[in-house]
Amino acid sequence: MLRTGDHLAVAVVEVAGAAVIFVGAVWAALRFVAEGLRHRSAAVFTPIRLTLGRFLTLGLEFQLAADILRTAVSPTFDQIGKLAAIATIRTALNFFLRREIAQEQRQIDPERPSSPAPGPSGTAQPATPDPSAVAPGDRS
């Protein structure tokens, strides 16, 4: 019973990751065609690439989560080795995608920081909002 649930969880997370990548690719292809017909400038495609990169990064995160789930229940050394290799490759892909996204973002908006500063847990924390940007009803 646990094995069936484990396989189902892995399948659901894998499908979610594939769906995110598919939706991002379709969106980018449609935007590419639409913008390509309207504009002949390469600069128009930078936001499309940024969005596609974000979809790819999110999809890869889901795929890595599925791999971790797959080896979570009584892993063998062979499975752990495969997970390590897959995790290394996907982490490297994510690293380079994020770096390219940050570079593209700086080209679009040089005033805006490319990513929030890491928080105490090492994860990116959202920037502190500008007090003037807070809605009047939200002020404490």
The pLDDT value recorded for residue 130 is 43
Q: Is residue 51 part of a domain?
A: yes
For residue 38, tell me if it sits in a domain. Answer: yes
Tokens of 84: 């390590």
Mean pLDDT value across residues 19-39: 92
Proportion of the chain above pLDDT 70, given as a percent: 76
Share of the chain above pLDDT 90, in %: 20
If one counts the domains in the chain, the total is 1
* Domain interval for residue 36: 2-112
Q: Assess if residue 135 is contained within a domain.
A: no
Q: What is the pLDDT of residue 14?
A: 94
- Domain membership of residue 124 (yes or no) is no
Q: Given a cut of 70, is residue 2 above it in pLDDT?
A: no
DSSP-derived 3-state class of residue 29: helix
Whether 79 is covered by a domain: the verdict is: yes
Is the pLDDT assigned to residue 1 strictly greater than 70? no
- Taking the C-alpha atoms of residue 2 and residue 29, their distance in angstroms, rounded to an integer, is 40
Whether the pLDDT of residue 80 is over 60: the answer is: yes
Sign of CA dihedral 34, 50, 57, 99: positive
7 inside domain: yes
Look at residue 63 and tell me if it is in a domain: yes
